[in-house]
Amino acid sequence: MSSEWRAFLLGIIGVPAVLVALLFGVYGGETPAILTKIWLRMPMLLFGSADFSSFTGGFAANIIISLWSMLIGVIGGAVLGLGLIARGAHVRIPSELVMNVLRNSPWLVVLYAMLYLLPFEMTVFGANVFLSPTVKSIVGLALPVTANIAEVFRGGVEAVASGQWESARSLGYRRLQILRHIVMPQALPLMTPNLMTIYAMLFIGTSLVVVTGTADVLSVARTIIGSDGDHIASALYIFVLLLFFLFSFPIAILTRSLERRVRAR
């Protein structure tokens, strides 16, 4: 059994066991009753709906936000990354400025900025488009992710030996052709572990969207606490912690495995 599998089994069994033990430490003999309450609230926590009439709230909202933010970040990061490796200073310097500002900005501050800077409604080609808190959260998380992916893009391209560029130029390839057909196929495997790490960080960062009013799992948990009482708060937050762990931990193990394979190559 590989070290990654051992770490996975240890984490996937050990961490829930520790959290259950923590519940018993907090609630004692009340733990079964508390677990029953959480079980009854499970649809709300997972999907934001008690009767499964919607699947866009709760923990599902965190997943949806993370996927959309990552998609925008990958596209924007590739474009910004091209600017970072551009020959012309008029493109490279502004790209570096944008990358450094976004990369070093606290994610919570960016979320608040998008919440107030973006309008609640805007007109696009004559149609009124409503910008919900979820949309603003996606944009707010996508911006710093874009900067981080752009830096990964530049690092992956620069990791490819310069002789590859020179050999391709001697064969008559243009710069974009070299990048597309020769450099990127070699750089992408080097970039993949870092991209997965960024996604894991992004997913954990979706816990911050509660400040925008998005109906994510933390927002739902606060609503449940308001209706069921503060006594259940510790159990709910422990359960939310478990949800985030169960989603993020396999990504971390897979990232570690990919990093090992890249080093072996």
What is the number of other CB atoms lying within 10 angstroms of the CB of residue 72?
A: 18
Contact 179, 234 (CB under 8 A): no
Per-residue confidence band for 46, with pLDDT thresholds at 50, 70 and 90: very high
- d(CA 18, CA 24) in angstroms, rounded, equals 10
Global pTM value: 0.89
- Give the phi and the psi of residue 87 in degrees, each rounded to 5: -75, -40
Contact 63, 247 (CB under 8 A): yes
Q: Which domain CATH number covers 70?
A: 1.10.3720.10
Q: How many domains does the chain have?
A: 1
pLDDT of amino acid 122: 77
Q: What is the DSSP string of 15-75?
A: HHHHHHHHHHHHHGGGHHHHHHHHHHTHHHHHHS-TTSS-SSSHHHHHHHHHHHHHHHHHH
> What average pLDDT is seen over the chain?
88
Q: Is the pLDDT of residue 1 over 70?
A: no
Nearest-CA neighbor of 70 among 194, 179, 188? Answer: 194
Q: Is the pLDDT of residue 184 over 70?
A: yes
- d(CA 81, CA 101) in angstroms, rounded, equals 14
Looking at residue 242, its amino acid is: L
Domain span at residue 104? Answer: 3-264
